[in-house]
Amino acid sequence: VTQTDPMTPSLEQLVDDDRITLWGLVLEAQHQVSAALRSDLADGMPYPEAWFEVLLRLGRTPGGSVPMTKLARMVLFSSGGFTKLADRMEAEGLLRRVACPGDRRSSLATLTPKGRRALEKALRVHVPSLERHVASVLDASERAQLEHIMRKLRASASPPGTYDD
């Protein structure tokens, strides 16, 4: 007999787990596609990728205004990190902080006309890029499967009420 407990998996058994392979695949695919999208986007926007995410979130909000902390969560940033990101974007004239009418603690990040134009220009590059690197790679059925799977994973890992859509 060996020293190994037959019920305790060895390192070799642990590392070859299908669940590790699956999640690694998700990380690699996301990273490679993001790199391709970022490379394309550089042609339509002279700003970092994170700035585009902020512009996009503001553009998808009816009034073009979102409270700082809420916007930070939407673009997957810490509160403190987003303050500095907003500083840089405000210095560039892409957004403005506007006092929140109902709550004097809060300020609303608001898209400026220049920010709107930058977003529009970026989207005219980014949407075809998404088509090329994501949508056209999958058929309609696979796209529907992907959306369904990602909704389940996101819902399972997020506190309730984190996402609206």
46 binds DNA (CB under 7 A): no
CB 81, CB 72: distance < 8 Å: yes
33 binds a second copy (CB under 8 A): yes
Q: Which does 114 bind (CB under 5 to 8 A by kind): DNA, a second copy, none?
A: none
Separation between Cα atoms, residue 45 and residue 48, nearest integer Å: 8
Per-residue tokens: 133? 């690197």
Residues 128-157: x where in contact with a second copy by CB under 8 A, - otherwise, as a string: --xx-xxx-xx---xx-xxxxxxxxxx-xx
Q: Which does 98 bind (CB under 5 to 8 A by kind): a second copy, DNA, none?
A: none
Residue 60: name the closest of 74, 48, 45 by CA: 74
Q: Which does 43 bind (CB under 5 to 8 A by kind): DNA, a second copy, none?
A: none
Dmax over Cα atoms in the chain, in whole Å?
Answer: 75
Residues 1-40: x where in contact with DNA by CB under 7 A, - otherwise, as a string: ----------------------------------------
- Cβ neighbours of residue 40 under 8 Å, at least 6 residues apart? 125, 126, 129, 132, 133
21 binds a second copy (CB under 8 A): yes
Separation between Cα atoms, residue 42 and residue 127, nearest integer Å: 13
Residues 49-88: x where in contact with a second copy by CB under 8 A, - otherwise, as a string: -------x--xx---------------x------------
- CB nearer to a second copy: pick between 98 and 146: 146
Helices (H) and strands (E) in the chain, counts: 7, 3
